[in-house]
Amino acid sequence: MTPETRKIKVSLLLFLLIILSGTASAQKMMRGIVVDSISLSNLSGVHVKVKNSDLTAVSDMNGIFMIMVNKSDTLIFSYVGYSKSKLPVAFDDEIMFVRMHDESIMLKEVVIRDRAYHLNRKYVPSRTLSETKPLKAASNSINFAYFTKEEREKRKLVAVIQEMKKVEVYVDVVNSPSFREEVMERNSITEERFYELLASFNQANNDLMHSGNEELIVSTLLFYFEHASARK
């Protein structure tokens, strides 16, 4: 083997190593937790797919999933009864926190129209009937529009918005980077462990999540993480 040939082979080998190392650094194992956007309860069995790829995963009983991703990937989350979510990968984050929204399907309202009644021209109206005054409609008559599909969906939407406002304070607290970092530092836990413990907390503290009391929420969470971390 001539010196020139040896140099070429070495150069090719270095080039391949650079390509492989670049590919490896552009991939990582992404972990995440999937929850209901209103109750923040964990969703198990959520189908997770990398867009334009065959890579898939399914969230476990705690709502946690793991999937290999690239920097430019987008993840698609689908679950029965929930709207499909498409989220770009936050490559610098170790954990994804995914909130899925309940799917409300609006069906087209069925409108019943009165059909005009055509009188028989040969019919001679009775004098008694013609002098009879029509009955007045009852003042407390039922508004049947209240029972239509559209009105029911409107009421459901209002209820959902009210629930979202109640839980908004809790969501802001647990999604605060400063709060998460403080909890992790205080209790010497990883970000993955933080979300695992948070998933367990969500299942048992629905009333607190809907309280809207920020001070109570923060103090309860700090107390919980301190004792839950000590039990590991």
Class level of CATH domain 28-105+146-230? mainly beta
Residue 149 is which amino acid? K
Written as one string, the DSSP assignment of 162-199 is HHHHHHHHHHHHHT-HHHHHHHHHHHT--HHHHHHHHH
pTM summary value: 0.48
Residue 171, C-beta contacts closer than 8 angstroms, at least 6 positions apart: 40, 99
- Alpha carbon distance 221, 174 (integer Å): 9
Give pLDDT tens digits along the chain (232 positions): 665 555 555 455 555 554 454 544 578 888 888 988 777 788 999 999 999 999 999 999 988 999 999 988 999 999 999 999 999 988 777 778 888 988 754 444 444 455 554 545 555 555 555 555 655 555 555 555 556 666 666 666 666 566 666 778 888 888 888 999 999 999 999 888 888 888 888 878 878 888 888 899 999 999 999 998 887 5
Residues 6+ apart with CB under 8 A from 212: 165, 166, 168, 169
C-alpha to C-alpha distance for 35 and 64, rounded to whole angstroms: 9
Mutual angle of helices 214-230 and 191-204, in 10-degree steps = 120
What are the b/e assignments for 26-38, b being 16+ CB within 10 Å? Answer: eeeebbbbbbbbb
Contacts of 40 (CB under 8 A, 6+ apart): 99, 167, 170, 171, 174, 202, 209
The helix/strand/coil state of 43 is: coil
Each domain of the chain, given as residue ranges in start order, spans 28-105+146-230
Residues near 229 by beta carbon (within 8 Å), at least 6 away in sequence = 187, 188, 189, 193, 197
